[in-house]
Amino acid sequence: MALGKLLLFCVSENVKEKINELNVKGIKNIAFNEEVVIISYDYSVIGSSDIIKAIDNFDINGYFQEDK
């Protein structure tokens, strides 16, 4: 099993609650630290872009900002 970590910064409490409800095959652990969410996942099962899509499909008021 190959583990990866996805870090999401500047996450509000509303989004944290929604992410905590996330039930996606391949996600091993979700940890919260102030405004950061750390998602540990098995990247032989799921990719980070699939996790972002799953979160984006939740009923969350907000959006993901691309790094430039």
| Separation between Cα atoms, residue 36 and residue 62, nearest integer Å | 16
Q: Would you state the pLDDT for residue 58?
A: 75
Average pLDDT rounded to a whole number, residues 28-46:
94
CATH architecture of residue range(s) 3-56: 2-Layer Sandwich (3.30)
Residue 65, pLDDT above cutoff 80? no
Q: Would you state the pLDDT for residue 12?
A: 85
Higher pLDDT, 44 or 15: 44
Q: How confident is the model at residue 59 (pLDDT cuts 50, 70, 90)?
A: low
Average pLDDT rounded to a whole number, residues 9-36:
89
Q: Would you state the pLDDT for residue 31?
A: 95
